[in-house]
């Protein structure tokens, strides 16, 4: 599930075990496609919530 927060942040919600590189690449692709600078991937599939952050330089 993907959400746009405050017209700046892409929030990707997952419930998988474990987060794999393809999930991180997917988030990076969303940032490129939308031109947004910040992406957060939140995974609820493990015993603790896992957060990955992606920041793109849009200059």
> Mean pLDDT for each consecutive 10-residue tract of the chain (59 residues)?
81 95 96 93 96 88
Q: Is residue 59 part of a domain?
A: no
Length in residues, the chain = 59
Please report the pLDDT score of residue 59 as a whole number: 67
Q: Is residue 16 part of a domain?
A: yes
> Residue 10 belongs to what domain range?
2-53
Q: Is residue 58 part of a domain?
A: no
Q: Considering its fold, how many domains does the chain have in total?
A: 1
Q: Is residue 45 part of a domain?
A: yes
| Close Cβ partners of 2 (under 8 Å, ≥ 6 residues apart) | 10, 11, 12, 13, 30
Model pTM score: 0.84
């Amino acid at each position: 599930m993907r959400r746009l927060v405050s017209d700046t942040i892409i929030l990707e919600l997952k419930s998988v075990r474990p987060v794999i590189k393809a999930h991180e690449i997917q988030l990076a692709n969303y940032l490129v496609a939308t031109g947004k600078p910040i992406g957060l991937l939140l995974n609820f599939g493990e015993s603790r919530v896992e957060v990955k952050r992606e920041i793109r330089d849009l200059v």
